[in-house]
């Protein structure tokens, strides 16, 4: 059996939209991107959603928007040491300095008890990551942010459908940044989207994604219909060529939006299939607890069913790589459970951190794996994974 990490659902609606878009010859960001934004805002329960070209750009632009609200270059952003490297990269891309905080090994998320020690007079925001779709402890994080007057930006790249204390992830901070990458719950193949309830922030985000230009209406007449715009010469210059801030080139195109719109039509179905897979594997995986650990879903939360993480326990007679190699040879696609960005990613050596500074993140980086639980999987594939883990443990435990 072959179990790839991810899948791509391209619905008939998406195929019809793609043909319509190609026939129209209007492929750049336009009315279908605007429609995707409206529908994504609806499913997350936010007022605004701003589509961009990747999840990394979603993080970076959410951070860069803070310059309009008093932040200065080289100010500090608190992020967890363990995450996909894009979280750290986005902080640097936005012109800030990352301040790393170790994680809680049980949740895989930033440890709120360690955040205050990392705050300085230069700290401007906390960016918690809902890793593997498990919500970070947002009550504690928001309390710290309120105490120190900090912004909170959720890195919700993997957390579509996650719920924390009856509130949807994506509504728990100032902004939230999602990835719409091919292996994620809602995909546009590549792409990202930022949600917020702050209309002023949304305006800034629309400017930032298009080079920082002053043209930032929620729905641009010039972009969607080539119609007349009464604001065009507001500054005695074409508004599209009047640049208010340092921006990016991060627009989503219409073809990507078409894929996403098809996904959104079957969002509940995708979410439920993936959630069924996650909960089934979690229930069966308990018998391996002497050798392998994973996260758990607490009564006040729902994990966004992105993937299934598991970690080799200390003292095991086998390594993470041996287990990964065995699973790969048996057709099960695996991924490392990321790395401690500041101490296990060579590109971050310039920051001066050293091994041992983030022991929990480093342990997961050395011993963690994750597999897909996507909508093309079912009970048969889940059972096959469990059976192969059991076979490996019988040989090596």
Beta-carbon contacts of 114 under 8 Å, excluding residues fewer than 6 positions away, are 101, 102
Looking at domain 267-396, its CATH class is alpha beta
The residue among 208, 166, 269 whose CA lies nearest residue 68 is: 208
As separate numbers, helices (DSSP H) first and strands (DSSP E) second, the chain gives 13, 16
Is 124:150 a contact under the CB 8 Å cutoff? yes
The distance between the two most distant Cα atoms of the chain, rounded to a whole number of Å, is 75
Q: pLDDT (tens digit, 0 to 9) for every residue of the chain, 397 residues total? A: 999 999 999 999 999 999 999 999 989 888 999 999 999 999 999 999 999 999 999 999 999 999 999 999 999 999 999 999 999 999 999 999 999 999 999 999 999 999 999 999 999 999 999 999 999 999 999 999 999 999 999 999 999 999 999 999 999 999 999 999 999 999 999 999 999 999 999 999 999 999 998 766 666 655 666 666 666 676 777 777 778 999 999 999 999 999 999 999 999 999 999 999 999 999 999 999 999 999 999 999 999 999 999 999 999 999 999 999 999 999 999 999 999 999 999 999 999 999 999 999 999 999 999 999 999 999 999 999 999 999 999 999 7
Task: Name residue, tokens 């069966």.
Answer: 284
Q: How far apart are CA 178 and CA 156, in angstroms?
A: 5
Strands (E), 197-350: 292-293, 301-302, 307-312, 334-336, 339-340
Q: Which CATH fold topology does 12-265 show?
A: 3.40.640
Strands 301-302 and 163-164: antiparallel
Q: Which residues pair with 153 in a beta bridge?
A: 175
Strand, helix or coil for residue 281: helix
Q: Where are the domains of the chain?
A: 12-265, 267-396
Rg of the chain (C-alpha set): 22
């Amino acid at each position: 059996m072959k179990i790839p990490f991810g899948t791509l659902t391209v619905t008939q609606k998406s195929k019809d939209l793609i043909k319509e878009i190609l026939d129209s010859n209007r492929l750049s960001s336009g009315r279908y991107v605007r429609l995707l934004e409206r529908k994504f805002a609806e499913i997350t329960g936010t007022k605004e959603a701003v589509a961009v070209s990747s999840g990394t750009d979603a993080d970076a632009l959410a951070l860069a928007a803070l310059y309009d609200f008093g932040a200065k270059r080289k100010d500090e952003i608190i992020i967890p040491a363990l995450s996909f490297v894009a979280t750290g990269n986005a902080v640097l891309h936005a012109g800030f300095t990352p301040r790393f905080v170790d994680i809680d090994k049980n949740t895989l998320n930033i440890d709120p008890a360690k955040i205050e020690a990392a705050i300085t007079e230069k700290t401007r925001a906390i960016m918690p990551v809902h890793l593997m779709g498990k919500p970070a402890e947002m009550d504690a994080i928001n309390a710290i942010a309120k105490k120190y007057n900090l912004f909170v930006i959720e890195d919700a790249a993997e957390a579509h459908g996650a719920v924390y204390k009856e509130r949807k992830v994506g509504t728990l901070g100032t902004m939230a940044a999602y990835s719409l990458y091919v292996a994620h719950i809602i995909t546009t193949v590549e792409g990202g989207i930022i949600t917020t309830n702050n209309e002023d922030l949304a305006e800034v985000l629309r400017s930032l994604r298009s080079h920082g230009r002053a043209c930032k209406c929620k729905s641009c007449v010039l972009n969607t219909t080539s119609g007349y715009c009464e604001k065009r010469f507001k500054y005695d210059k074409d508004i599209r060529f009047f640049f208010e801030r340092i921006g990016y080139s991060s627009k989503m195109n219409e073809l990507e939006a078409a894929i996403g719109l098809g996904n959104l039509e079957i969002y509940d179905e995708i979410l439920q299939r993936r959630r069924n897979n996650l909960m089934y594997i979690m229930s069966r995986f308990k018998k391996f607890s002497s050798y392998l650990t994973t996260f758990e879903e607490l009564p006040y939360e729902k994990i966004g069913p992105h993937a299934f993480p598991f970690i080799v326990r200390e003292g095991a007679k086998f390594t993470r790589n041996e287990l990964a190699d065995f699973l790969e040879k048996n057709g099960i696609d695996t991924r490392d459970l990321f790395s401690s960005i500041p101490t296990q990613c060579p590109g971050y050596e310039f920051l001066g951190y050293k091994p041992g500074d983030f022991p929990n993140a480093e342990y997961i980086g050395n011993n963690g794996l994750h597999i897909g639980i996507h909508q093309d999987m079912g009970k048969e594939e889940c059972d096959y994974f469990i059976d192969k883990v059991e076979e490996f443990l019988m040989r090596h435990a």
